[in-house]
Structure 1
Amino acid sequence: MAEIDFNAMRGSGGHDAPPSPKTILNWAGGLVSLTLMAGLVTWGYQVVMRDVSGVPVIRALEGPMRIAPDDPGGRQAEHQGLAVNRVAALGEAGPPADMLQLAPAPVDLAGDDRPVIAPPPAEAAAYAAADEAAPILASVGGGATPVPDADGGALFEGDDLSAAAGPAAETLAADDVEGATEAALPLPAGALRQSPRPRTRPQEDFAARAAIAAARAAMTAPVATEIAAESVAVGTALVQLGAFDSGDEARAVWDSLASQRRFSGFFTDKTRVIQTVDRGGKTFFRLRASGFADMAAARRFCAAVSAEGADCIPVVAR
């Protein structure tokens, strides 16, 4: 039996074929992938197991952060130290106080503040006149001497000088006082010797003035001219001021608007038109005004009336 020579079946060189470029690229890609996987695993492990002591922190100081001063100074607010404030501040009531003071101690009145018996009006007036004339008499006479009366006696303090001396003495005393006042108080040239007394303000009755003004306005109010609604031509420009339950009510509203100052001159050349309308089993009266050249004039009139707070609608007669 013939033997097979396997060595003859190999290549002529006797060596394996070199690796292709595709194989080299596959191995390089695998190595890169393994490197990336290893890097990701390492980074994740470091993130998870990182020591927190490496993070910088601020160490807290020892003791309280802020301390209130023993004497803060300034001005104390009102109502401090009350029991009701303690409840709001601390949440609980304080212990009972040793002493409760509901009102300050009473204050004794001075002698001038105590009630006294008022003198009669005549004596009070005499005392006031004597006090006012004392400085002037002292500056004129320099001293007080008894004045002999008609009977040869002397008048002293407390006697009725006016009754003893009579009207002539009063006139002389008044002249002496005026002369003494002028001598004691010399005035410069052009000075005002006696200030004028201000005039009293007249008392006016404002209610009466308002009533008089209303009466004058009613007397001077123009008499409204009224025409029937049937006499108004079709297509005439009108304005409607409202709808009322009766014709008298409509006329009263017209008179009220015409008499008001804010509508002064609005209804002077206008004619009143009251139209009776039956609708839905009910009768009502439309208050309208005519006297407009065209619809534009009616719209301008309604704009002015509406600006003053009244109702107004431009319409066309039908």
Structure 2
Amino acid sequence: MADIEFDAVDYDDAGGGPPLIATLTMWAGGVVSLALVAGLATWGYRITVRDMTGVPVVQALEGPIRVAPDEPGGQLAVHQGLAVNRIAAVGEAAPPADELRLAPMAVALAEEDMARGDLLPAPQFAAVASGQTVQPAPGGGADIRAVDAPLEEIDDMAPRADALPRLPAGALARSPRPAPRPEGDLVARAAVAAATAAIAPAPAVELSPQEIIAGTVLVQLGAFDSPEDARSTWGGLTDSFADFFDQKMRVVQQSESGGRQFYRLRATGFADMADARRFCAALMAEGADCIPVVAR
């Protein structure tokens, strides 16, 4: 076998060295490797310092967050500043006021709600009221006197015996009428009297203001011009809220403010201030006025 001589092959000196494609591939691989190393280094650095750079920081604005407008507009709620509203808002009664004002006057009716005028009486009724004779309307009915044929007189209104149907033996010709109910039913009267006594309100017990010890918990139900008006209002309240005023006693106290005398209607019989507040809350839910107070 003949020996191959590698040295016998001659290369061109001008075309020596690696080709251009291999050179470019080598440089591209180096650049990619460097980029990968740089990316890994950056990723590791961010993981290390992410607790400090991950929380966003927002700079607070200067000035208040909310500013009330100078003219908000709208409408104010009615009944502001009343002692009854203070109980619901604050939870306790307001101190005694220096000036007491009565409720406003009743609202007048609008013009369209007023009566249009008095109703005119009917002509026929007006004539009867004045004593005049009312003539019948023309053509309203036939005159019995204009009939030529005479009327037959009826001698006997009883039915004739031959006109009645024959009844079997033992039958009643006329059914007997039941006896009327007696006017004096003692059982019914006793039942009505017992029911009336059960629902009748117990007479109100009134205490004098001098009998009230200082510090006693009371509730004020209103102020009136006379003690009779106060007692009348108490009667109306006890009729409307009988369960609420059970075991409660009435107190009518005379007071004076601004040279004017008035009478305060109060109720006593409460264990403490919490009991009085619950009582007033129940009355106010039904539309009545009530203020818990402490006797002085």
TM-score > 0.5, shorter chain as reference? no
TM-score, scaled relative to structure 1: 0.34
| Structure index of larger Rg | 1
Looking at both structures, which has the greater relative contact order when contacts are Cα pairs under 8 Å and sequence separation is at least 6? Answer: 2
Q: When you count helix as a share of all residues, which structure comes out higher?
A: 1
TM-score, scaled relative to structure 2: 0.36
